Structure 1
Amino acid sequence: MIRLTRRGTVLKGTAASSLLLLAVCVTNAQTANKGLTFDAASIKPAAMPAPGKAVMAAPSGGPDTRDPSRIHYPFITLKALLLNAYDVKPYQIQGPPWLDTERFDVNATMPPETTKEQFRAMLQNLLAERFKLTIHRETKQLPVYLLVVGKNGPNMRESNPASPAGDEANPASPASFAAPKIGPDGFPALPSPAAGRPGLFLMMMPGRARLVGQQQTMLDLANRLTGLLSQPVTDETGLAAKYDFTLTFSPDGMSAPMGAPSGPVGMMVPATPPAPSGAAGGAVSGSPLEGDSFPDVFRAVKEQLGLALEAKKGPVELIVLDHIEKTPADN
């Protein structure tokens, strides 16, 4: 007879055996993942753009894409690599500030049948090998936000039925260091095939930012706001449709995560840091044409999308970096 106790409950016979078998299976899977490595991997410091230039970069490849046997992550931060390795949000990573500034070009190959769980284990092992990464986990009570519908209802256009999706998984072209075309409103024009393509496209310029959503759910929006605010944002809107929207706001004090998300995403990374705020409350100088100041993201979400961000507190699991090197070991 097998007897397992937990919190005063006695499990006997088949129930105890099943629980023991499950624990053994989980332990065996975790042990197996510890030894997983890429077939080949290269991590090199990324070349920085010349002053006044911007860089366009898009991650590609990996499990569940059309190129499952390789990844190409150009101009990516260590923070973004950690997010992918541990499947967490930016606010869950506790580490040095340079995680957001040091950029690398990462290329790796793997068996085409690699699962997402195996891929994350490979990436964790690669970071431990090249950057001498060690971590521990802990839980804290932190501020969180609920994304809800505003008093007057949503102010977004429901998307038309999706057209055939572009191949977001095809190998991306090398990062371009040519200055993108700037529209009359001071924002870069979305490059083809981004225009009209499902996805979230974030453009961050000195003193202003724009998030363009095409065929996006409210969960997609909440996840992107999570990255920008570096705090959890949970979708509580109850809206099930997909929407097209444009959100223009001041990016002062925000993160600009450059990860390798599962869906198509585009991003403009400014070559120079945003200009200092010239007014209280985070407002900055206005657009070149209208001279209006840009609202912070909370006001922009309310006025432009008809939604609201409500502040709460809740338990959040954190990944605390005990040690990480700034420069990777030789490839």
Structure 2
Amino acid sequence: MTDRLNKKRRFLATIWVLVLVSGVFDCLGFSVRAQSTKQDWEKAAGGKQQFEVASVRENKSGGPSYSNFSLDNGNAYFIIKKNDKLDLNGTLFSAKNQTLMRYIIFAYKLSGTQELALRFDYFEGLQLHVPQWVKDDRYDIEARAPEPATKDQLRLMMQSLLAERFKLKVHNETREAPVFALVLEKPGKLGPQLEQHKADDDCNATAFPEGSGKGAAPAQSLSALPIPCGQIAHLLPGSPGANRFGGRNVTLALLGTSMPTQTGLLTLPRPVLDETGLKGGFDFWLEWTPEDLSEVDNGETGGTFREALKNQLGLKLERAKGSVQVLVIDHVERQTAN
């Protein structure tokens, strides 16, 4: 029994490392809404689109993974730095040594829960059994849009490219599964580090406040968070060994779906669904000390994160059953050589 428990702990710890490492250059921007054949963000971006020209080559030489902008999959993995800049429009898409899985995650703007379900057959009831080569084989893609495009428009172009070159067919599906319900610890009361987004914040300022930067934690004020609105990201922690992430003008549904990737599956082995009943956008930051994974039988249960969630945000998690949206791959083929 002890050996099986230890193996499970090692497996979960490995998954968390894989999520953090493979996504180290990927970040920002995601939504959690009821999914239909065509999602709201796809409609807003203009529907089906195509690159003007594109090259897709299997990468057999290795080397570092690269992309000319973050391959957004709905989670922020890296720490936002003082000099990071966001480019809202562009024509060039360039990425090297990325798995086909990474391009799919980008193309369909998958949330944290959706990504984890697609990459790992771990969540009970959400096993998707993706072909292993989709997770392993790496490709270089160079493509150009016919005119300056937003990131969401580039996603739609990537959908068309993957359908053409890899015969990719997918559909969205809702499944019932064991979840954690995110609820208020005390009815009607928010924690000190969670507040409704202020109407006078026009979301234009995203720079770090003076005095922050390398080696210094961001300002404690929620209104001074350097995160672009609508996004969640890792932040510099206030103490060694701690983790901190925050969001600005984000829904609590978005907070919930990001939690398993922010904390690791060892801490939250189920999807998280928002059941607070609170609507609109919120600003927050949360800091906790991760479990010590150096000893697989140390008996820790993730309580440090749950205590931080309660004390800082006024929220808690309850075991429940819920409806979870996932992206199902119906068909995919390796690209044939030109």
The alignment's TM-score, normalised by the length of structure 1, stands at 0.51
Paired position in structure 1 for 2:258: 224
Paired position in structure 2 for 1:279: 298
Paired position in structure 1 for 2:63: 47
- Cα distance in 2 for partners of 1:330, 1:155 equals 57
8 Å Cα contact 1:42/1:107 also seen in 2: yes
Deviations along 1:101-138, one digit per CA (max 9) or x if unpaired, are 77766553213365777644422232244445344554
8 Å Cα contact 2:290/2:305 also seen in 1: yes
Structure 2 residue 217 is the aligned partner of structure 1 residue 201:
no
- Cα distance in 2 for partners of 1:296, 1:58 equals 34
Q: Which amino acid aligns with 2:258?
A: R
- Cα distance in 2 for partners of 1:246, 1:162 equals 23
- Cα distance in 2 for partners of 1:276, 1:102 equals 33
8 Å Cα contact 1:75/1:103 also seen in 2: yes
8 Å Cα contact 1:33/1:121 also seen in 2: yes
Residue 301 (structure 1) aligned to one of 309, 318, 321: 309
- Cα distance in 1 for partners of 2:163, 2:64 equals 25
8 Å Cα contact 1:146/1:233 also seen in 2: yes
More strand by share: 1
Q: Which amino acid aligns with 2:106?
A: N
The correspondence of residues 120-269 of structure 1 with structure 2, limited to 5 A, is: 120-135=155-170, 137-151=172-186, 153-156=190-193, 158=195, 161=201, 164-166=204-206, 183=215, 196-199=225-228, 200-202=232-234, 210-213=243-246, 215-219=248-252, 220-225=254-259, 227-228=261-262, 231-234=271-274, 236=276, 238=278, 240=280, 242-250=282-290
Residue 321 (structure 2) aligned to one of 303, 313, 326: 313
- Cα distance in 1 for partners of 2:163, 2:236 equals 31
Structure 2 residue 122 is the aligned partner of structure 1 residue 111:
no
CA deviation after TM superposition for structure 1 residue 213, in Å: 1.4
8 Å Cα contact 1:59/1:74 also seen in 2: no
Q: Is the alpha carbon distance of 1:227 and 1:153 closer, same or farther for their aligned partners in structure 2, counting shifts above 3 Å?
A: same
Q: Is the alpha carbon distance of 1:109 and 1:60 closer, same or farther for their aligned partners in structure 2, counting shifts above 3 Å?
A: farther
8 Å Cα contact 1:59/1:71 also seen in 2: no
- Cα distance in 2 for partners of 1:304, 1:108 equals 44
Deviations along 1:236-289, one digit per CA (max 9) or x if unpaired, are 25264632413325379xxxxxxxxxxxxxxxxxxxxx7564522445xxxxxx
Q: Is the alpha carbon distance of 1:244 and 1:315 closer, same or farther for their aligned partners in structure 2, counting shifts above 3 Å?
A: closer
Q: Is the alpha carbon distance of 1:148 and 1:163 closer, same or farther for their aligned partners in structure 2, counting shifts above 3 Å?
A: same
Q: Is the alpha carbon distance of 1:215 and 1:141 closer, same or farther for their aligned partners in structure 2, counting shifts above 3 Å?
A: closer
Identity of aligned residues (%): 26
Residue 83 (structure 1) aligned to one of 80, 105, 112: 105
Secondary structure, counterpart of 2:159 in structure 1 = helix
- Cα distance in 2 for partners of 1:98, 1:310 equals 36
CA deviation after TM superposition for structure 1 residue 147, in Å: 2.5
Q: Is the alpha carbon distance of 1:38 and 1:240 closer, same or farther for their aligned partners in structure 2, counting shifts above 3 Å?
A: same
- Cα distance in 2 for partners of 1:319, 1:39 equals 27
How many residue pairs match? The answer is 239
8 Å Cα contact 1:209/1:251 also seen in 2: no
Secondary structure, counterpart of 2:50 in structure 1 = coil
Kindly report the root-mean-square deviation, in angstroms, between the aligned alpha carbons of the 2 structures: 5.0
Residue 50 (structure 2) aligned to one of 16, 36, 52: 36
CA deviation after TM superposition for structure 1 residue 83, in Å: 3.0
CA deviation after TM superposition for structure 1 residue 313, in Å: 1.8
Q: Is the alpha carbon distance of 1:227 and 1:140 closer, same or farther for their aligned partners in structure 2, counting shifts above 3 Å?
A: same
Secondary structure, counterpart of 1:69 in structure 2 = strand
Paired position in structure 1 for 2:70: 59
| Structure 2, unpaired ranges of 5+ | 1-42, 73-85, 119-127, 208-212, 219-223, 263-267
CA deviation after TM superposition for structure 1 residue 308, in Å: 1.4
Secondary structure, counterpart of 1:233 in structure 2 = strand
CA deviation after TM superposition for structure 1 residue 72, in Å: 5.0
- Cα distance in 2 for partners of 1:150, 1:35 equals 45
Deviations along 1:16-63, one digit per CA (max 9) or x if unpaired, are xxxxxxxxxxxxx9xx977834533556657349xxxxx9995179xx
Highest CA radius of gyration, 1 or 2?
1
Q: Which amino acid aligns with 1:59?
A: S
The alignment's TM-score, normalised by the length of structure 2, stands at 0.50
Q: Which range moved further: 72-81 or 149-158?
A: 72-81
Secondary structure, counterpart of 2:309 in structure 1 = helix
- Cα distance in 2 for partners of 1:35, 1:57 equals 20
Paired position in structure 1 for 2:125: none
| Structure 1, unpaired ranges of 5+ | 1-28, 50-54, 168-180, 253-273, 284-294
CA deviation after TM superposition for structure 1 residue 306, in Å: 1.9
Deviations along 1:75-109, one digit per CA (max 9) or x if unpaired, are 76544432332344343433257766777665532
Q: Is the alpha carbon distance of 1:109 and 1:142 closer, same or farther for their aligned partners in structure 2, counting shifts above 3 Å?
A: same
